[in-house]
Amino acid sequence: MTNVAFLKSMAKRGEKIAMLTCYDATFAKLMEAAGVDVLLVGDSLGMVMQGKSSTLEVTMEDMEYHTRSVSNGVTRTMIITDMPFGSYENDLDVALKNARRLMAAGAHMVKLEGGGPMVDTARYLVENDIPVCAHLGFTPQSVNKLGGYRIQGKTEESARQILDDARRMGEAGVDFVLLEMVPAALAKQITDSIGTPTIGIGAGTDCNGQVLVLQDLLGIYTGPADKDPHEFKSPRFVRNFLEHAGNIQQAVSNYVKAVKEGSFPSSEHCY
C-alpha cells in the first residue's frame, strides 16, 4: 500500500509523484495498473461527472459515494478526497466530523482549499489524526470571489501571501501542498523552501508531483452540459494524452511516464 511516508521519500529522492483525479472503480483499477501514485477524488466531479458549471454544489454524500467507488477499485493506491464547499470552513468540529466521514468512506487523506483561517482547520484535523493536503493558488471553491478561472500569485503581494500560506500549512502539519495555476517561479520557490512536498496543476515543472483531471488528460471535457462544447477551450496546463496513445490504459501510462521523466509539464503548459 502506497502511504504518505513512501510518497514523501519519493519526493526526497527526486522521484516525481503522479496523481490523477478519479471518480469510479473501473478507472481506479486502470490507474492503479498504470502506476498512478495517488488518486484524487476531486470535487471537480461536480463539473466533469455532474455537468455543473462549478464545484460549489457538490455535497458530502457525493464525495462519500465516489470515494467508496474509487476505494472499491484499488488495493494499494493512496486516495485523497476533497472536502466539498461548506463542509469545513466555519466550525472545527464540523470539519473534523466531515473529514472522518470521508476517511470512513475510504479516503486516506482529505484536501481542503485556501490559506488564512484554513491553517487552523488543517492543524485541528492533523491533531486529530486526519492526514491533510492543502490546496492553494487558484482554489475552485472560491471562483466567485476570485472573479473566474484566473492565475493567482502574479503580484508581489499575492505571491508573498501564497508562499506564507504554504509555509504555515506545512508548519500546521499538512502532508502535501497542492498548487493550482500559479507562476512556475513561485511554485519553485515554495517547493524549494517549505519542506513539504508540493503537487502542481498549472504550477510549472518544479513541484514534487503533478495532478491532472482525468477527463482533461483524455481530451474529453468540453465544459458543463448546458454549454456549447465548441466554445470550450482547455486550460493552458492541459495535455491530451489520448491523442497519440491509442487506448485509455496507454494514455494513463504515458502520463505517469511523462511526469516521472519530467517531460510533462513542459514550458508550454506553464505560466
Residues in touch with ligand KIV (CB under 6 A):
21, 40, 42-44, 82, 135, 178, 180, 201, 211, 213
Cβ 98 to ligand KIV shortest distance, Å: 16
Which lies closer to ligand KIV via its Cβ, residue 42 or residue 170?
A: 42
Decide if 31 contacts 20 (C-beta within 8 A): yes
Choice among 127, 157, 180, 261 that is catalytic: 180
> Largest Cα–Cα distance in the chain?
48
Q: Is the dihedral of CA 83, 88, 94, 99 positive or negative?
A: positive
> Chain-centre distance of CA 204, in angstroms?
15
Alpha helices (runs of H) in the chain, residue ranges in sequence order? 4-12, 25-34, 45-48, 60-73, 92-104, 118-127, 143-146, 156-172, 184-193, 214-217, 248-261
Output 143 or 245, the one with its CB closest to ligand KIV.
143
Residue whose C-alpha cell is 492543502? 134
Query: Closest separation between CB of residue 110 and ligand KIV, Å?
Result: 12
Q: How far is the CB of 43 from ligand KIV (least distance, A)?
A: 5
180 noted as active-site residue: yes
Counting every residue written for the chain, the total comes to: 271
Instruction: Output the smallest distance, CB 170 to ligand KIV, in A.
Output: 18
C-alpha cell belonging to residue 166 = 504554504
**Catalytic annotation, residues:** 180
